[in-house]
Chain A
Amino acid sequence: MSVKRDFAVGLFVWAALLTMPFWMPAIGGYTGLATRVVVMGLGAMALNLLLGYTGALSFGHATFFGLGAYGAAMTIRYLVPSTPLALLAGIAVAAAAGAAIGAMIVRRRGVYFAMSTIAFGQIFYFVAFRWSSVTGGDDGLTGWTRAPLSLGPLTLDIRGSETAFYYFALALFAAGVGAMAWILSTPFGRTLVAIRENERRARFLGLSIERHLWLSFVISSTLMGLAGGLYALLNNFVDPRTLRYDQSGEFVIMAVMGGMRSFWGPLLGAFIFVVVQDVVSSHTENWMSVIGLVFILVVLFFPRGLLGLLGRRAPA
């Protein structure tokens, strides 16, 4: 029953994703917005590995998103105009930062874990903000564009065609999400859920909580780096706001709004958040209040998220 339903849900999600550039205009969007949904969805899902599955409250995940974005952008701007290398560089930077920061905070719990993740993120924000000669400072890093992708004899023009870039991003999304699903199905993934459910019992069983938490943090940061790299390529631009704590908060609200106890919940949350943000910010100057209101309403009335509301249980 559950396997069947998961299969049906998966089928529906992939069908929707594969056709998104075609139906997005019908709800007032455009191809770039569809790509944004996929990229932010990947970020929210990556965060959810930590938030929903491991039960660790990271409120600073924009750090790794932004580092992925800057890693990719600076590679193209200063080193080589190669899309794969740019993404790899972004991922590597995010993973390294995740490993270092993770090691310093895995012994903290709850609000203190959250506070530490936020504070660490600020370091990178201020570096990006102040070191203008390299990062472009507050104005962001411009003067570069993503390069077409050459696959042997074939060339995929992800620079000229938004649609081509969408499917490129979707392919990487699939790879990232697939890896996550696989990780969650392994004994390691099950252990993360066990830690979330009852840390003390897991510890008594002889599991190293800190090591599992750290690994989960690093994997999550790595995927976040991929999302950030794609985000930079999508916009051909990156600025310090990708690193800021409000961005972190937005990822958390996406995960919570969609349902952090379900695999696809954060993607749904990202879809709603990105579309609403796009619509609202083009209609009113007070979009910040609307977003703030979304936060409050979700917390007070839909704490289990939309998928939680439908009574779905996490596949774990």
Chain B
Amino acid sequence: MIQLVLFGVFNGLIVGAFYALMAIGLSLILNLSGVINFAHGGFLALGGYLAYSLAPTIGFWGALLIAPLITAAIGLLVERLLVRPLYGRDPLYSLLLTFGLAFIFQDGLRTIWGAQSVPFSPPAAMMSPLSAQLFFLTGYRLFMMALVAIAVGGLFYVLGWTRLGLRIRAGTRDLETLSTLGVDVRVLRNLNFGLGIYLAGLAGVLAAGQLGLSPTMGDGLIMPSFVSIIVGGLGSLVGTLLGGLLIGVASGLAAVFFPSAQEAVIYVMMVAVLLARPRGLLGEEGRVH
């Protein structure tokens, strides 16, 4: 029983880490640019597939390093060419644009790499369970958790202690003032978008090793990421992280004890949080919208 609970919690933490990584990227873009990036799941899958294609030449570790960077570069390009013209317009338009982009991503991935899911294996040494009792603990899973923690820690470091981070935080508060202070907000939004996409690409590579690759792999992650943001509280990255882990654990436990509700439980939690605390767990006071 204890073992089953642990199993559920641990699986949930892993899934939650993916939700959180994706949701934090989405949040970054949403907070600074007011864009809901529907194509985030597509970028995630792209990261995974790039790693899959690169790994035979540069190895797993090389792919882990390079694939998210290429994904981020494509993200920078997409922001520059397609998203930038839409700033200042009704948010409806960026939503529709990234929605269409998500379709194209999915179709493109299927055309290039095939509709069937393909396996992607991290080094074999990492895949064996650490103990028979805790069969679900593999080196790779611990490694994933650690890497997610490092990525999130790194992001918080960038936001809290670097000039770029300071500007991103300032821009989230008041973009106009920041612009009059001489900061090029177009470049800032571009870099910020790239940063968010980098996290998606990284999540994609890690997820590929755990869940396997399919063109629709991002689909199952994007909605829970929205929920992470809503549950955690809008405008709060720590809240988003917490929200992601929380709904991950909830769905992990549900998968063990009540499998048919493993997806729905996430949304039930969202409703519960919204009813009890409309601004989300760590949402700012008075900022319901």
Give the docked Cα–Cα distance between A33 and B229 (Å).
40
Q: Which of A57, A123, A253 contacts B91 (CB 8 A)?
A: A57
A120: interface (CB < 8 Å): yes
Give the docked Cα–Cα distance between A130 and B97 (Å).
30
* A115-B226 in contact (CB<8A): yes
Q: Which of B270-289 contact A (CB under 8 A)?
A: 270-271, 274-275, 278, 288-289
* B289-A303 in contact (CB<8A): no
B197 CB to nearest chain A CB (Å): 18
A296 with B82: in contact, given A57-B92, A111-B34, A289-B103 (CB under 8 Å)? yes
Q: Which of B184-204 contact A (CB under 8 A)?
A: none
**Residues of the B chain whose Cβ atoms lie less than 8 Å from the Cβ of A129:** 263
* B275-A110 in contact (CB<8A): no
Q: Which of A116, A126, A296 contacts B230 (CB 8 A)?
A: A116
Q: Chain B 229-241, CB within 8 Å of chain A: the 1/0 string?
A: 1100010000000
* B223-A245 in contact (CB<8A): yes
Q: Which of A115-150 contact B (CB under 8 A)?
A: 115-116, 118-120, 122-123, 126-127, 129-131
Q: Which of A127, A249, A253 contacts B264 (CB 8 A)?
A: A127
Secondary structure dominating the interface of A: helix
Give the docked Cα–Cα distance between A262 and B30 (Å).
30
B59: interface (CB < 8 Å): no
Give the docked Cα–Cα distance between A39 and B212 (Å).
39
Give the docked Cα–Cα distance between A294 and B30 (Å).
24
A115 with B96: in contact, given A122-B267, A289-B103, A291-B103 (CB under 8 Å)? no
A18: interface (CB < 8 Å): no
B147: interface (CB < 8 Å): no
B203 CB to nearest chain A CB (Å): 19
**Residues of the A chain whose Cβ atoms lie less than 8 Å from the Cβ of B85:** 300
* A249-B96 in contact (CB<8A): yes
A292 with B96: in contact, given A111-B30, A112-B234, A115-B226 (CB under 8 Å)? no
**Residues of the A chain whose Cβ atoms lie less than 8 Å from the Cβ of B34:** 110-111
**Residues of the A chain whose Cβ atoms lie less than 8 Å from the Cβ of B95:** 57, 59, 111, 114, 252
Q: Which of B97, B270, B288, B289 contacts A295 (CB 8 A)?
A: B97
Give the docked Cα–Cα distance between A286 and B34 (Å).
31
A51 CB to nearest chain B CB (Å): 8
B76: interface (CB < 8 Å): no
A292 with B226: in contact, given A120-B267, A123-B267, A130-B261 (CB under 8 Å)? no
* A293-B96 in contact (CB<8A): no
Q: Chain B 23-43, CB within 8 Å of chain A: the 1/0 string?
A: 000000010001110000000
* A295-B263 in contact (CB<8A): no
Q: Which of B101, B106, B229, B268 contacts A123 (CB 8 A)?
A: B268
A253 with B96: in contact, given A104-B271, A122-B267 (CB under 8 Å)? yes
**Residues of the A chain whose Cβ atoms lie less than 8 Å from the Cβ of B261:** 130
Least CB separation from A255: chain B residue: B92
**Interface residues of B, count at CB 8 A:** 45
A84 CB to nearest chain B CB (Å): 32
Least CB separation from A253: chain B residue: B96
**Residues of the B chain whose Cβ atoms lie less than 8 Å from the Cβ of A299:** 86, 93-94, 96-97, 100
Q: Which of A262-299 contact B (CB under 8 A)?
A: 286, 288-289, 291-296, 298-299
Give the docked Cα–Cα distance between A13 and B227 (Å).
41
A109 with B106: in contact, given A122-B223, A130-B263, A252-B92 (CB under 8 Å)? no
Give the docked Cα–Cα distance between A130 and B89 (Å).
39
**Residues of the A chain whose Cβ atoms lie less than 8 Å from the Cβ of B116:** none
A288 with B103: in contact, given A108-B289, A252-B92, A303-B93 (CB under 8 Å)? yes
Q: Which of B90, B101, B223 contacts A296 (CB 8 A)?
A: B101
A75 CB to nearest chain B CB (Å): 23
**Residues of the B chain whose Cβ atoms lie less than 8 Å from the Cβ of A289:** 103-104, 107-108
* A303-B89 in contact (CB<8A): yes
* A126-B96 in contact (CB<8A): no
B226 CB to nearest chain A CB (Å): 5
* A113-B289 in contact (CB<8A): yes
Q: Which of A104, A112, A123, A286 contacts B289 (CB 8 A)?
A: A112
A275 CB to nearest chain B CB (Å): 18
The 4 closest A-B pairs by CB, nearest first: A295-B100, A292-B103, A292-B104, A288-B107
Q: List 11 A-B contacts (CB under 8 A).
A: A104-B271, A115-B229, A120-B271, A123-B271, A129-B263, A130-B263, A253-B99, A292-B104, A292-B107, A295-B99, A299-B96
- Beyond the given pairs A57-B91, A107-B278, 11 more chain A to chain B contacts, judged by CB atoms under 8 angstroms and listed by A's residue number, are A57-B90, A59-B95, A107-B288, A112-B289, A119-B230, A119-B270, A120-B271, A249-B96, A252-B92, A296-B97, A296-B101
